[in-house]
Amino acid sequence: MQSADKYSIMRDMIDRNKRVYVYFNLHKKVWSVRQGGKVVEHTKSIMLKDCKYLVGKAGRERVLREGRKNVHAGVSGYVVDKIPPCRYGNDLTYNPKWHEGFVSRHGPYDDVIEHSHYAHLECGNGWKNLHGMWK
């Protein structure tokens, strides 16, 4: 008998017709998925469509002022099982000390990216990746 892991059980709680907000959980080292104000999943991999890259201005300013991390940046979108072939993709990053929003990991760093058609968020032992894709 196969046992379902706790993450696949939580995935059933997501309403795919409503947006989710995904951010990297520094304590659990996984992506946290929030919907309707509640964390409904923790996962190492999730795919989204109609993505918006969001950074809370007040949260970023608090990080810069206090030097302590807080949840103020993430990706909003609709959960999907697959991503169709896209013309362009890019690894994205965000660091509140250097950028006002999400930027390409490989530059140019001045161009804040606010949306993409799709995104694939993954993490593993000591690494995380956010890959935005455009049709």
Burial profile 114-125: b = 16 or more Cβ within 10 angstroms, e = fewer:
ebbbbbbbebee
In 3D, which of 76, 58, 97 has the Cα closest to residue 20?
76
pLDDT tens figures, 71-82: 778 999 999 999
pLDDT at 68 over 90: no
- Three-state DSSP class for residue 57: helix
> Does 70 map to a domain?
yes
**pLDDT for the residue 125:** 87
Q: How many domains, in total, are found in the chain?
A: 1
Per-residue pLDDT of 21-42, as tens digits, reads 999 998 899 999 999 999 999 9
1 within a domain of the structure (yes/no)? no
Alpha-carbon distance 115 to 37, whole Å? 21
For residue 125, being part of any structural domain is answered with: yes
Quote the domain boundaries for residue 74: 6-134
End-to-end CA distance of the chain: 41
d(CA 46, CA 43): 7
Residue 108 has a CB neighbour count (10 Å cut-off) of: 7
**Residue 40 domain-assigned?**
yes
Using a pLDDT cut of 70, give the percent of the chain over it.
89
pTM for the complete prediction?
0.86
The larger pLDDT score, comparing residue 119 to residue 3, is at 119
